[in-house]
Structure formats: structure tokens, C-alpha cells
């Protein structure tokens, strides 16, 4: 978000911009702070406090934003755009009604999400009692670094994606009062659960990714699912027509920006951890290929690009302003190219030493795409149409990538069955999604259900007799 679009200084916009800049320190600090502390051992206490401030300062700044806005609403200061646009028309001065309205009003920025995110991470830090830092032993230092990197990613998403750049503008002259109505109970609960869920997810995913094959998905899935469901109901709160049966028109009218971002976050919050656990499970069950591993990587890249491209075209074609399939495929391609560029850059991450996971090139490919798609969707909401294809690729390719590889104990018949089942389910999901966008009311639950449960089919197909599974013997290939 920007410093504000008004003609006077805006303290809330400035503080939020500082948080946005501070996020750079959060994800970059693990790279330079331990080395700096090692060179200056006499300042060890200062560096430990700075390490803790990396988490606490953004939380403190967001609370200062709330206090400044509360003061503006209490004084009915109409030079604040937030007061003029989202103030309560039914109350004057400070009251319980004006306080709750300040937090939960129709059309207002989702400021409560970063606020409750802050409360959650502060509570988590006190629960940890400062037991982990960048200067601890390897395991704790690694966990702290992972937490900071995820915080450094989530703050920009909240600042840029949830808060319009002009929401906290301040003007030299009072503005006309517009006001807004109090948000519904559903929206209010959605804001609360989304903020709390993001805070929980940031610590759960850090622990999950550190544990590797010993990780359990329950905490990550619970927190991520809570965020996605909450954001979904928030996104559809003020649409001009129902989502079911009218989604194509809403997309054409540009009314689903927040819904598109929610879909993009499905890839990051749910798809990415599922990919990690599926990749580790496949590695444990089938081990390392005897040869032709490059074909597995080739299938990963090619299958993802094609499925993401085709999936995007399938969603775009029913839109009222699209002339036909040729236009749909061309638009899907233009949306996909930036995403693929990020993914291909990610395949180079193993050269930087990030190669501890099975299939490190595939790991880099998908982590970069998962991180990039929320920001690309914020820039162009239509990028959200790429989500189903990308999500289905992430949750099926850990298994499909083993099929072209040299695995003597993996029968050809089994490879064919697994490919047929997963590709058949993918095609079925895309057909249901196309019918959903075309207005078929019954297609929506099928489209969502098949897409979301795709990883479970991957797990089911892995549960076969051990005689058909290659033993996990390392290879020099």
C-alpha cells in the first residue's frame, strides 16, 4: 500500500508503509544477522533484542495505526478518508457502537486481519518465551529463520492485498461524510478467524517444513482452511449477484478481486504443504529412480505448464467478454507466462544450496510459483483462473513424475492406471469448472470437491502392495 493519496500527512498510511518495508528485513535477516552478530560478540545482547524486534515491531506499528484511527473516529475528524467513508452514521463520539463499527463496517479495508494476526504472533512469541532465535543451535535457529521468512511474506500480502492504497488518506480540508453500515456477523467473524488463522499458519508451516517426512499436516491444514473459508465468505459479502450461477458475470465486472486473491492463497496455504508431504511420502514409498530422472523433472515442468494453461482457458472461455476458445487460450497464456518465469527461476534454487528436499528442482519450481501467484493476482485479479490447474498439478505430480523414470519394480500396468485415474479426475474437474462458470448450479460443488480432494486420490494410489514398489535405494543418477 502507498503512503496515502491525500494532500496531507497520513500517520496510518506511513506506519503501514513502514511495516511493508520492515518485511524486507524479516525475510532477509536470516542471511546476514547471524554473521553480523558473530563478528561483533560484544553486542550480542543488542542483536538478540533486534532479532525479537523483527517480529514485534510490525505488530506494535499496526496497533498504533488502530489507535490513531480510533482517535480520528472519536473526534469525527473528516479530514481522514477512513472516517468520511467508513464512519458510523448512527453515532457520534466514542461508544461501543462506534468502536465495533470502526472495526467491522461494510466496504472498509480488512484492517482487522493484520491486527488479529499481530495479536496472534505476539501471543505465540510469549508462549515460546523467546526460546528460539537466529543465534540458537542449528534446529532452533532454522525454525526462527523460517518463521521470519513467512512473516516477511504474509505482511506484504496483507498490506497490498487487503488494504486499498487510498483507504487511509488524510486531506487538508474536511471531506463529505458518506459512512457505511455495520458489517454482518459473518463478515465480522471472517475477519477475526482470517487474522488468527494466518498467525497460526505462519508458525505451523515453519515447523511443518522443518520436520520433513516426519511432519503432520493437521495444524497447517486447520489454520490454512480456517483462513481460506473466512476469506471466501468475506469476498462474497458485497457482490452484486450470487456467486453460484453468476460467477462469470462477476468476473467480467471486476467484482471478485478479493475472491481471486483468496483462490491464489489456496495454492500457498494448502497446496504447498500438501505438495511437500506428498513428495516426502512418494520418496519414502518408491525411493530414488534408477535412471531417467530428467524425464521426471521434464514431466513436472511440462505437465504443470500445460495444465495451468488449459485450466486457465477453461475458466476464461465462459466469460461474457471472451469471443471464443482462441481468445481464451491466448489470454490464459499471457497470464501464465509471468508465473512460469518465477517457477523456472525457482528450479535454480538448488544451485544456491537449497537441495535438502527430494526433487529439489521441482521443489524450487513450485515454491516460487506458490509465492508469486498471490502477488500476480493482486496485480491482475484474472490471474486467479490459473489456480485450479496449478493446484491440481502440485497435488498429483509427486506421483505422476515417477512414471517416466526408470523404476524396475514399478509395473507398467500400475503406471498406466495411476496416470489414467489422476488425469481422468483432472479432466473431470476442468469440465465441472467450465460448466460452473457457464451457470450450471450443480457443477459448482463437484468442481470444488474434485479439485480439493485430488491429493487424497494420490495418497490412495500409493497404498499398494510393497512388491510393486521400488525399494528406497539411493542412486548416483
What is the Cβ-side half-sphere exposure of residue 96, based on CA atoms within 13 angstroms? 0
Domain boundaries, the chain: 11-186, 283-468
Look at residues 269, 23, 270 and name the one whose alpha carbon lies nearest to residue 159.
Answer: 23
What are the residue ranges of helices labelled H in 254-400?
A: 257-266, 272-286, 293-316, 325-346, 360-379, 387-400
Q: Which whole number is the average pLDDT over 350-359?
A: 76
**pLDDT at residue 378 is higher than 70:** yes
CB 140 within 8 A of CB 11: no
If DSSP codes are grouped into helix, strand and coil, which group holds residue 291? strand
pLDDT over 70, % of the chain: 90
Q: Which whole number is the average pLDDT over 443-449?
A: 82
- 210 alpha-carbon distance from chain centroid: 19
For 102-153, the DSSP string reads HHSBTT---THHHHHHHHHHHHHHHHHTT---TTS-HHHHHHHHHHHHHHHH
pLDDT of 450 reads: 86
- H or E stretch covering 358: none
Looking at per-residue pLDDT, the higher value among 215 and 435 belongs to 435
Look at residues 263, 273, 275 and name the one whose alpha carbon lies nearest to residue 394.
Answer: 275
**pLDDT at residue 252 is higher than 60:** yes
> What is the distance between the alpha carbons of residues 191 and 162, in angstroms, rounded to a whole number?
11
pTM (2 d.p.) = 0.89
**With bands split at pLDDT 50, 70 and 90, how would you rate the model's confidence at 469?**
very low
**With bands split at pLDDT 50, 70 and 90, how would you rate the model's confidence at 179?**
confident
pLDDT tens-digit profile of 109-133?
888 999 999 999 999 888 876 667 8
pLDDT of 2 reads: 41
Positive/negative CA dihedral, 302, 305, 311, 314: negative
Looking at per-residue pLDDT, the higher value among 382 and 1 belongs to 382
pLDDT of 96 reads: 59
Sequence length of the chain is 477
**pLDDT at residue 420 is higher than 90:** yes
**With bands split at pLDDT 50, 70 and 90, how would you rate the model's confidence at 366?**
very high
Looking at per-residue pLDDT, the higher value among 262 and 7 belongs to 262
pLDDT of 176 reads: 87
> What is the distance between the alpha carbons of residues 246 and 229, in angstroms, rounded to a whole number?
20
Helices 454-462 and 443-452 cross at an angle (nearest 10°) of 50
Beta bridge partners of 340: none
pLDDT of 356 reads: 65
**pLDDT at residue 471 is higher than 50:** no
Q: Which whole number is the average pLDDT over 226-248?
A: 80
Look at residues 349, 450, 433 and name the one whose alpha carbon lies nearest to residue 384.
Answer: 433
Amino acid at each position: 500500500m502507498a503512503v496515502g493519496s491525500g494532500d496531507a500527512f497520513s500517520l496510518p498510511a506511513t506506519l503501514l508503509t513502514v511495516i511493508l518495508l520492515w518485511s524486507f528485513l524479516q525475510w532477509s535477516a536470516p542471511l546476514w544477522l547471524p554473521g553480523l552478530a558473530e563478528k561483533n560478540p560484544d553486542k550480542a545482547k543488542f542483536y538478540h533484542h533486534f532479532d525479537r524486534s523483527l517480529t514485534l515491531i510490525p505488530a506494535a506499528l499496526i496497533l498504533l495505526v488502530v489507535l490513531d484511527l480510533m482517535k480520528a473516529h472519536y473526534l469525527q475528524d473528516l479530514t481522514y478518508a477512513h472516517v468520511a467513508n467508513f464512519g458510523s452514521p448512527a453515532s457520534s463520539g466514542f461508544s461501543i457502537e462506534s468502536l465495533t463499527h470502526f472495526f467491522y463496517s461494510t466496504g472498509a479495508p480488512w484492517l482487522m486481519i493484520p491486527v488479529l494476526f499481530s495479536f496472534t504472533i505476539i501471543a505465540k512469541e510469549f508462549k515460546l518465551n523467546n526460546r528460539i532465535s537466529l543465534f540458537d543451535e542449528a534446529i532452533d535457529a532454522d525454525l526462527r529463520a523460517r518463521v521470519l521468512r513467512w512473516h516477511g511474506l504474509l505482511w506484504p500480502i496483507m498490506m497490498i492485498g487487503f488494504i486499498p492504497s487510498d483507504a487511509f488518506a488524510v486531506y487538508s480540508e474536511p471531506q463529505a461524510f458518506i459512512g457505511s453500515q455495520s458489517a454482518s456477523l459473518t463478515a465480522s467473524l471472517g475477519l477475526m478467524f482470517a487474522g488468527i488463522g494466518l498467525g497460526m499458519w505462519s508458525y505451523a508451516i515453519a515447523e511443518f517444513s522443518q520436520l520433513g517426512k516426519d511432519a503432520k499436516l493437521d495444524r497447517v491444514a486447520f489454520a490454512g482452511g480456517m483462513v481460506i473459508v473466512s476469506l471466501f465468505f468475506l469476498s462474497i459479502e458485497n457482490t452484486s449477484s450470487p456467486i453460484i450461477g453468476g460467477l462469470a458475470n462477476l468476473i467480467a465486472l471486476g467484482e471478485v478481486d478479493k475472491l481471486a486473491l483468496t483462490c491464489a492463497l489456496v495454492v500457498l496455504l494448502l497446496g504447498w504443504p500438501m505438495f511437500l508431504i506428498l513428495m516426502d511420502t512418494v520418496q519414502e514409498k518408491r525411493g530414488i529412480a534408477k535412471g531417467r530422472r530428467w524425464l521426471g523433472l521434464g514431466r513436472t515442468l511440462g505437465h504443470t505448464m500445460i495444465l495451468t494453461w488449459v485450466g486457465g482457458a477453461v475458466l476464461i472461455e465462459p466469460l461474457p467478454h471472451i469471443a471464443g476458445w482462441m481468445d481464451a487460450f491466448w489470454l490464459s497464456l499471457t497470464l501464465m507466462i509471468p508465473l512460469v518465469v518465477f517457477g523456472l527461476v525457482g528450479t535454480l534454487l538448488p544451485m544456491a544450496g537449497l537441495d535438502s528436499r527430494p526433487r529439489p528442482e521441482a521443489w524450487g519450481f513450485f515454491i516460487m510459483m506458490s509465492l508469486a501467484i498471490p502477488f500476480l493476482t493482486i496485480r491482475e485479479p484474472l490471474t486467479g483462473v490459473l489456480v485450479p490447474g496449478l493446484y491440481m498439478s502440485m497435488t498429483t505430480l509427486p506421483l505422476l513424475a515417477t512414471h517416466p523414470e526408470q523404476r524396475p519394480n514399478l509395473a507398467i500396468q500400475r503406471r498406466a492406471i495411476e496416470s489414467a485415474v489422476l488425469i481422468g479426475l483432472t479432466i473431470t474437474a476442468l469440465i465441472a469448472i467450465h460448466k460452473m462458470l457457464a451457470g450450471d448450479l450443480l457443477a459448482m460443488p463437484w468442481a470444488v470437491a474434485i479439485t480439493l480432494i485430488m491429493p487424497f486420490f494420490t495418497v490412495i494410489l500409493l497404498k499398494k502392495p510393497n512388491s510393486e514398489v521400488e525399494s528406497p535405494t539411493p542412486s548416483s543418477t
